[in-house]
């Protein structure tokens, strides 16, 4: 039934397009360059190597796009798409995706795993290696905080692990002080695997949106979070 409605809707828009042949003058239409990997509204796709971007803090999304554009975060398809955009337009994209609601239930999550070591790393950190708990910055509910710290729920373990490794090898950089570079460098490879696997199986508690700016004091000076 939904399929039928969708087809009808598509037919209607096609018929309309045949008359007007003008692209919708919206930021959503302009953002469709992102759709095949991140979903039409940034909700993610079946390919979990590409993260959802809907509902992430606008400041975080802006920082990532800026870093891709300037080469501080290296992923050639993204570096290429954003090469010739200015900050004002990136901000507009960031605000669009940040404003989209995200349905975590639709995320294809692996079954919850029980890994006491990983859970302890997330909730209390590893003082012996100077690693703070993830929750101190990303929040107890792990949904992030405005404007610059992203949520860690609803992401694939391979994506999370790849980001931590990218920080270590320098292909993902952030504004100085780049606290995630320091933290990722202190993790062992086993810890990266564990924490990525554990985070990827966590279910959301409460609304998916990031906490308001200033909801708690983050313990580290971090260039991404003024």
Partner 1 sequence: MSRHLRWNAIALLLTTVVAALGARSAENPSTAANVQPAARGMSPGEYLAHVGDCVACHSKHGGVPFAGGFGLPTPFGTLYSPNITPDKATGIGSWTATEFYQMLHTGRSRNGTLLYPAMPFPAYTKVTRADSDEIFQYLKSLKPVRQRNRENELRFPYNNRSLLFGWRALYFTEGTFVPRPELSAELNRGAYLVEGLGHCASCHSPINALGGSGDDSAFAGGLIPMQNWYAPSLTSNIESGLGGWSTPDIASLLKGGASNRGAVYGPMAEVTHNSLQYLAPGDAHAMALYLQSLIQLRPVAAQLVDTSPGSAKVITLGQKVYSGRCASCHRSDGKGMPPAYPPLAGNPSIQMEVSVNPLRMVLNGGYPPQTSDNARPYGMPPFAQVLSDEEVAAVVTFIRESWGNHGSLVTPREANAMRLAPLLD
Strand partners, 149: 145
Dihedral angle sign, alpha carbons of residues 203, 207, 211, 215: negative
CB nearer to partner 1: pick between 35 and 220: 35
The least distance separating partner 1 from the CB of residue 6, rounded to whole angstroms, comes to: 12
The least distance separating partner 1 from the CB of residue 7, rounded to whole angstroms, comes to: 12
CB nearer to partner 1: pick between 84 and 108: 84
The least distance separating partner 1 from the CB of residue 18, rounded to whole angstroms, comes to: 8
Identify which of 156, 143, 149 has the alpha carbon closest to the alpha carbon of residue 207.
143
The least distance separating partner 1 from the CB of residue 158, rounded to whole angstroms, comes to: 14
CB nearer to partner 1: pick between 59 and 208: 59
List interacting residues with partner 1 (CB under 8 A): 14, 17-18, 21-23, 27, 29-30, 32-37, 47, 50, 69-71, 76-77, 79-87, 89, 92
CA 127 to CA 113: how far, in whole Å? 24
The least distance separating partner 1 from the CB of residue 68, rounded to whole angstroms, comes to: 11
Q: Phi first, then psi: what are they for 45, rounded to 5°? A: -130, 180
> Both tokens of residue 186?
């202190």
CB nearer to partner 1: pick between 83 and 110: 83
b/e per residue 88-101 (b: at least 16 CB within 10 A)? eebbebbebbbebe
Cis peptide before 177 (omega within 30 of 0): yes
CB nearer to partner 1: pick between 3 and 86: 86
Identify which of 36, 150, 114 has the alpha carbon closest to the alpha carbon of residue 159.
150
């Amino acid at each position: 039934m939904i399929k039928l409605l969708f087809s009808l809707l598509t037919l209607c828009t096609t018929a309309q397009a045949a008359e007007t042949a003008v692209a919708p003058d919206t930021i959503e239409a302009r953002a469709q360059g992102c759709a095949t990997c991140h979903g039409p509204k940034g909700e993610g796709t079946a390919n979990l190597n590409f993260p959802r971007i809907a509902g992430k803090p606008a400041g975080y999304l802006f920082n990532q796009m800026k870093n891709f554009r300037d080469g501080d975060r290296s992923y050639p398809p993204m570096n290429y798409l954003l090469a010739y955009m200015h900050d004002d337009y990136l901000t507009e994209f960031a605000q669009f995706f940040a404003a989209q609601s995200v349905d975590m239930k639709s995320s294809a999550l692996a079954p919850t795993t029980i890994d006491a070591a990983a859970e302890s790393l997330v909730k209390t950190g590893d003082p012996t290696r100077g690693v703070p708990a993830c929750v101190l910055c990303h929040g107890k509910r792990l949904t992030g905080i405005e404007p610059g710290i992203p949520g860690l729920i609803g992401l694939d373990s391979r994506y999370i692990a790849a980001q931590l490794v990218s920080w270590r090898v320098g292909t993902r950089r952030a504004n100085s002080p780049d606290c995630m570079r320091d933290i990722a460098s202190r993790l062992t490879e086993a810890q990266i695997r564990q924490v990525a696997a554990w985070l990827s199986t966590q279910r959301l508690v409460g609304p998916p949106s990031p906490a308001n700016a200033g909801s708690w004091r983050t313990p580290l000076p971090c260039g991404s979070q003024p």
